[in-house]
Amino acid sequence: MSAETTASTTRTARPQEPGKARATIGAIVLVVLVIGGGFFSNAQWSKFPDIFTEGGRYFYLMLRGIVQNPFSEPYSEYWVQAFNGMLESISMAWIGTMIGAAISIPMGFLAARNVSHPALVQVTRVILNAIRTLPELIFAIILLLPIFGFGPNAGALALGIGAVGTLGKLTAEALEGIDPGPVEAARAAGAPRSAILRWTYWSQVLPEVLAFWLYRFEINIRASAILGVIGAGGIGSVLSQAFRYREWDFIGILLFVIIVVTVVVDSVSGAVRHRIIAGTGKTDKDIDTEPVGL
Amino acid sequence: MTVASPAPAGVARPKKPAPSRFLIAGLAVTAAITVWAAWEIDFTLGPLFENFANGWVVVEQFLRPNWGYLDNAWTAWLETISIAIVASFFGVAVGLIFAYMASNVTNRSTRLYRLTKWFLSVLRSLPDVAYVLIFVALVGVGSLAGILALFIFNIGIAAKLTSETIDAVDPGPLEAADAAGNGTFSRARWAVQPQILPNFLSYALYIFELNIRSSVVIGYAGGGGIGYLIQVQFARFNYENVSAIVISMFLVVLLIDQLSQYLRRRLV
């Protein structure tokens, strides 16, 4: 016994390697899924090399569009159209965010467990989840086009409805996370229910909720481009039009404007968000609950 | 102070502080932007009341979904799910490499780090539909365009989420790896990867969900799958069929959400 102990101190046995069976099975399943996916997607893989043969040429054409003198015809017209489209997209995104924010406030209160009745909470959450499940495009198609026709107005409303799902859920979660102290104090002082909601609940979540709204605005800018493809106006409509006619230099200018404006708006909005939530103990990561691009 | 008097006489209520200039300026700017934006897109709710009858005809059709049509839809669903699997697999795999390059922790070259960050923010600033349009122009209408577009799109998201996780890893194993003289690759592989793997896999599942959700957009722009079917049926005014597809989409998304949540809970 003692001999054995001394032996193991001089030369400790290497611990057994943990089993890899689970990881191996997982890897095999994944490979099968990916190969199956490659097959069942009906993708024409034979066209894959076209990216390299055609891609370089198109990329060159796009770059050429950007570097042309922007004051010469037809490039001045391209730049004006690109900026107008982008302005329209941003407006759509802004109005959509405003609509979503306005509707999400009551929805958020109704969906917060510490505010409203349990049955109401359940009902509201089901509605919010249903909205979150469906992409904005569906709202635009189903409800808005028949009534509002094609155009940015329908787009803004679709973005607004789409935003209610996420914003309502995040507002409810923020409300559930508040410090109950002020609520008790207000109640003890005999404040009416409306005053309690306004001055203890709402005051505590306001910075966070504002940050959510701004974040949603950033998401909506991208989403508005998506809606443009079905004819909701904005840069998306201009872009799909340009693709239809294969005007590569115009496409280059459009993509350039989208990238620059999005990056600028993102960083301004990000800085404002950062300033708003400074001191609330929240970080940017708490706000970026879903990555931009939905 | 023996008697708790409700409001001692003579003590004036403290004055309400004036709203800060910051707040007033912020509200003014917000109001100005809102008015301008509403004017820019001619915002109105009027059609809601004027054209409600038109809309109601469509809504009525939507309320009578044609379930029989789903027999045709399932191949499109298979296509959409296949697109999402292939695009998320390769997207997150390449995204992982970019994530290592986009974190100070694993990338020791400041210049390459800045370049990667810049590249990724450009990549993320384009919406998925722009990538679909580009690849449709390159390889034609079909699911290959959808796969390639989502692949590029996924790289951006996967790299952003994962690089933020890498930024926050426990520095202990890194120090150990450095002390033992590891190179850039082996410290990333053996000191960082085991720490981020559960999060990374959960992001991968999340990205798969996102890809299913964006299938409508992908199909509309010419990338194949269920979205293409919606576009065709919508263009033919077959709202009963669109309705059935939308309901099936709702169920599929819900199902995949549940499945992925279950898997994620087991991973993290």
> Which chain A residues touch B128 with a CB distance below 8 Å?
226, 293
Residues 110-139 of B with CB under 8 A from A: 121-122, 124-130, 133-139
Residue A21 in any domain: the answer is no
Residue A26 in any domain: the answer is no
Q: Which domain holds residue B170?
A: 72-267
Q: Whole-angstrom distance between the N-terminal and C-terminal Cα of chain B? A: 58
Q: Say whether B138 and A233 touch across the interface (CB within 8 A).
A: no
Distance from CA of A4 to the nearest CA of B (A): 31
Residue B15 in any domain: the answer is no
Residue B49 in any domain: the answer is no
Which residue in chain B has the smallest CA separation from A151?
A: B41
CATH number of B137's domain: 1.10.3720.10
Which residue in chain B has the smallest CA separation from A35?
A: B86
For residue B144, give every residue at least 6 positions away whose Cβ sits within 8 Å of its Cβ, in sequence order, or none: A41, A43, A44, A45, A47, A48, B135, B224
Residues 156-175 of B with CB under 8 A from A: 156-157, 160-161, 164
Residue B192: predicted pLDDT: 93
Residue B255 in any domain: the answer is yes
Distance, in Å, from the CA atom of B178 to the CA atom of B186, rounded to the nearest integer, reads 10
Question: What's the token pair of residue A39?
Answer: 């097959």
Distance, in Å, from the CA atom of B59 to the CA atom of A143, rounded to the nearest integer, reads 7
Residue A93 in any domain: the answer is yes
Q: Which amino acid is at A157?
A: L
Q: What is the DSSP string of A131-158?
A: HHHS-HHHHIIIIIHHHH-SSHHHHHHH
Q: Tell me, what's the ipTM?
A: 0.84
- Total domains in chain B come to 1
What pLDDT tens digit does each residue of chain A (294 aa) get?
444 455 555 678 888 888 888 889 989 999 999 999 999 888 888 888 888 888 888 999 888 888 888 888 888 999 999 999 999 999 999 999 999 999 999 999 999 999 999 999 999 999 998 888 888 888 887 777 778 888 888 899 999 999 999 999 999 999 999 999 999 999 999 999 999 999 999 999 999 999 999 999 999 998 888 888 888 888 999 999 999 998 999 999 999 999 999 999 989 998 988 888 887 767 766 666 555 433
Residue A5 in any domain: the answer is no
Residue A128 in any domain: the answer is yes
Reduced to 3 states (helix: H, G, I; strand: E, B; else coil), residue B103 is coil
Half-sphere exposure of B10 (CA within 13 A, CB side): 0
Residue A4 in any domain: the answer is no
Residue A39 in any domain: the answer is no
Q: Which domain holds residue A202?
A: 63-287
Question: What's the token pair of residue B97?
Answer: 């490499």
CA distances from B71 to B21, B68, B74, B80, B213 (A): 62, 6, 6, 15, 21
Mutate to test the interface with B, among A226, A260, A288 (most CBs of B within 10 A): A226
Q: Which of B44, B125, B135 sits opposite A258 (nearest CB)?
A: B125
Is A205 an interface residue toward B (CB < 8 Å)? no
Distance, in Å, from the CA atom of A20 to the CA atom of B104, rounded to the nearest integer, reads 31
Residue A89 in any domain: the answer is yes
| Helix/strand/coil percent split, chain B, to 5 | 80, 0, 20
Residue B121 in any domain: the answer is yes
Residue B36: predicted pLDDT: 93
Is A126 an interface residue toward B (CB < 8 Å)? no
Give pLDDT tens digits for B92-102.
Answer: 999 999 999 99
Distance, in Å, from the CA atom of A228 to the CA atom of B130, rounded to the nearest integer, reads 11
Residue B5 in any domain: the answer is no
CATH number of A234's domain: 1.10.3720.10
Residue A198: predicted pLDDT: 92
Distance from CA of B102 to the nearest CA of A (A): 16
Query: Please, are residues A96 and A160 in contact by the beta-carbon 8 Å criterion?
Result: yes
Reduced to 3 states (helix: H, G, I; strand: E, B; else coil), residue A189 is coil
- Burial pattern B181-212, b for ≥16 Cβ within 10 A else e, equals ebeeeebbeebbbebbeebbbbbbbbbbbbbb
> Which chain A residues touch B142 with a CB distance below 8 Å?
42-44
Distance from CA of A55 to the nearest CA of B (A): 7
- Total domains in chain A come to 1
Mutate to test the interface with B, among A22, A29, A41, A137 (most CBs of B within 10 A): A41
Give pLDDT tens digits for B136-155.
Answer: 999 989 999 999 999 999 99
A275 — phi, psi (to 5°)? -70, -40
